[in-house]
């Protein structure tokens, strides 16, 4: 690895921008970010970040910005390729998008995304590379160069690889990444059992994201409407049952923990609801589809999740055909 790791950020929305900020702020990495719709604004004025972790920062730019991945290659070869795109296997292939930037088996791929079983396509496409999977516990939104980061950034990470000889190195690389990230002023914690944490977060995303996107009621309004006991908690219960059958036992009170995860009075729009409102594709395959495919393998009946998935797929078809 080069002395100062070179990090490429693919997907510089609110999450990718906050990752870029922490990594660059550490002083221990060179960050190249691919910007699309925000490129001109950020090139001219920099990002304006209001962050619960970092305070207000105006005029901030990643070390290098590029409009396309091909253009960004001039700043490589990259030690880390961090992906903070929406995970949309029904719309595009993340391995295909990042392949030109994964120059050798020494490049580590970092996923900062919601969902379950999202590592597998990368492990299959890059069998000799290390994949760091990251569960983002953060709340942030973007409007052009404006970033509002209102829920602290805690990134949980774990290493995966198809090549067993790479696992030792993978764990070291994962610790190095977490140290750099944390040195930049946010939190990044290495978890041996990262998949367990994915299942735990999925309880929230598969229930609230799906039901709020379908009803267009936010996380508070859906509770005011009386759907906590009839829809939200039953959906969480199905996720917990699949996780348990797959070998990831969640706590007895997981539903109560996950409901408390975002206070009702926040009236928060989950990312899937925001995508539906903006006419953008929703992460239904990695949040519901993958969970249901695992349910089938471990023989768990998940009727409610199955219904939510089919309803969302119908909505997705309309969203995609309007693009
Ligand atoms: N936002 C949040 O608070 C949270 C998000 N998450 C998860 O984090 C991940 C990222 O979320 P978020 O930042 O909100 O996502 P967004 O959809 O808001 O941002 C994604 C960014 O990726 C860019 N992009 C899309 N396709 C490409 C491409 N082919 N090449 C380069 N850039 C591309 C988009 O650019 P453009 O604008 O030009 O389309 C956009 O800037 C998701 O998995 C989400 O579920 C998890 C917890 C909280
Ligand atoms: C839990 C939450 C709301 C964090 O912002 C999220 O993951 C999402 O909106 O998809």
Q: Are residue 206 and residue 159 in the same domain, yes or no? A: no
Q: Are residue 176 and residue 208 in the same domain, yes or no? A: no
- Choose one of 167, 192, 217: the last residue of a domain: 192
- Choose one of 155, 175, 192: the last residue of a domain: 192
Burial (CB count <10 Å: 0-12, 13-18, 19+), residue 87: buried
Q: Are residue 247 and residue 217 in the same domain, yes or no? A: yes
Work out how many domains the chain is built from and give that number.
2
**Host domain of residue 21:** 6-192
Q: What is the pLDDT of residue 195?
A: 98
Q: What is the CB < 6 Å shell around ligand 1?
A: 10-16, 34, 36-37, 84-87, 97, 112-114, 136, 138-140, 142, 271, 283
Structural contact between residues 83 and 109, judged by C-beta atoms closer than 8 angstroms: yes
Domain assignment present for residue 1? The answer is no
Atom 3 of ligand 2, nearest CA residue = 270
Q: Are residue 176 and residue 252 in the same domain, yes or no? A: no
Pocket test for ligand 1, best of 12, 21, 36, 65 (most atoms within 8 A of CB): 36
Q: What is the pLDDT of residue 1?
A: 55
Q: Are residue 21 and residue 110 in the same domain, yes or no? A: yes
Ligand 1 centre and the CA of 115: distance in Å? 13
Q: What's the half-sphere exposure (Cβ side, CA atoms, 13 Å) at 97?
A: 22
Domain assignment present for residue 116? The answer is yes
How far apart CA 276 and CA 312 sit, in angstroms, is 10
Tell whether ligand 2 has an atom less than 6 A from the beta carbon of residue 205: yes
Q: Are residue 15 and residue 150 in the same domain, yes or no? A: yes
How far apart CA 20 and CA 17 sit, in angstroms, is 5
**Residues facing residue 140 across a β-bridge:** 149
CATH number for the domain that contains residue 309: 1.10.1040.10
Q: Are residue 114 and residue 211 in the same domain, yes or no? A: no
Pocket test for ligand 1, best of 9, 13, 41, 209 (most atoms within 8 A of CB): 13
Q: Cis peptide leading into 77, omega within 30 of 0?
A: yes
Ligand 2 centre and the CA of 201: distance in Å? 9
Neighbours of 187 (CB within 10 A): 16
Contacts of 113 (CB under 8 A, 6+ apart): 83, 84, 85, 86, 87, 134, 136, 283, 286
- Choose one of 161, 192, 223: the last residue of a domain: 192
Which-ligand-closest: CA of 34? 1
Q: Are residue 207 and residue 62 in the same domain, yes or no? A: no
**What does the pLDDT profile of the chain (323 residues) look like in tens digits?**
558 999 999 999 999 999 999 999 999 999 999 999 999 999 999 999 999 999 999 999 999 999 999 999 999 999 999 999 999 999 999 999 999 999 999 999 999 999 999 999 999 999 999 999 999 999 999 999 999 999 999 999 999 999 999 999 999 999 999 999 999 999 999 999 999 999 999 999 999 999 999 999 999 999 999 999 999 999 999 999 999 999 999 999 999 999 998 889 989 999 999 999 999 999 999 999 999 999 999 999 999 999 999 999 999 999 999 88
In angstroms, how far is CA 283 from the centroid of its own chain? 10
Q: What is the pLDDT of residue 218?
A: 97
Please give the ipTM for the structure prediction: 0.98
């Amino acid at each position: 690895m080069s002395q100062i790791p070179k990090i490429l950020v693919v997907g510089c929305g609110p999450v990718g921008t906050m990752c870029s900020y922490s990594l660059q702020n550490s002083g221990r990495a060179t960050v190249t970010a691919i910007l699309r719709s925000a490129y001109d604004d950020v090139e001219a004025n920099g990002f304006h970040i209001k962050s619960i972790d970092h305070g207000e920062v105006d005029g901030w730019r990643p070390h290098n910005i590029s409009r396309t991945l091909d253009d960004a290659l001039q700043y490589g070869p990259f030690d880390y390729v961090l992906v903070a795109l929406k995970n949309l296997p029904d719309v595009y292939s993340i391995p295909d998008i990042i392949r030109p930037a994964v120059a050798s088996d020494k490049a580590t791929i970092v996923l900062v995304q919601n969902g379950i079983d999202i590592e597998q396509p990368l492990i299959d496409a890059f069998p000799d590379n290390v994949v760091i999977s990251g569960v983002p516990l953060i709340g942030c939104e973007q409007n052009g160069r404006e970033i509002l980061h209102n829920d602290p950034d805690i990134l949980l990470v774990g290493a995966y690889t198809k090549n067993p000889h790479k696992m030792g190195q993978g764990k070291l690389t994962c610790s190095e990444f977490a140290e750099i990230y944390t040195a930049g002023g946010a939190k990044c914690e290495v978890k041996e059992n990262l998949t367990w944490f994915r299942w735990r977060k999925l309880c929230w995303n598969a229930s609230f994201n799906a039901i709020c996107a379908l009803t267009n009621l936010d996380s508070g309004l859906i509770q005011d409407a009386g759907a906590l006991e009839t829809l939200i908690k039953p959906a969480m219960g199905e996720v917990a049952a699949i996780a348990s059958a797959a070998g990831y036992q969640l706590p007895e009170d997981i539903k109560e923990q996950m409901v408390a995860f975002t206070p009702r009075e926040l009236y928060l729009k989950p990312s899937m609801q925001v995508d539906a409102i903006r006419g953008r594709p929703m992460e239904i395959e990695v949040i519901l589809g993958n969970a249901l495919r695992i349910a089938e393998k471990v023989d768990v009946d998940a009727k409610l999740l199955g219904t939510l998935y089919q309803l969302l797929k119908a909505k997705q078809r309309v969203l995609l055909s309007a693009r």
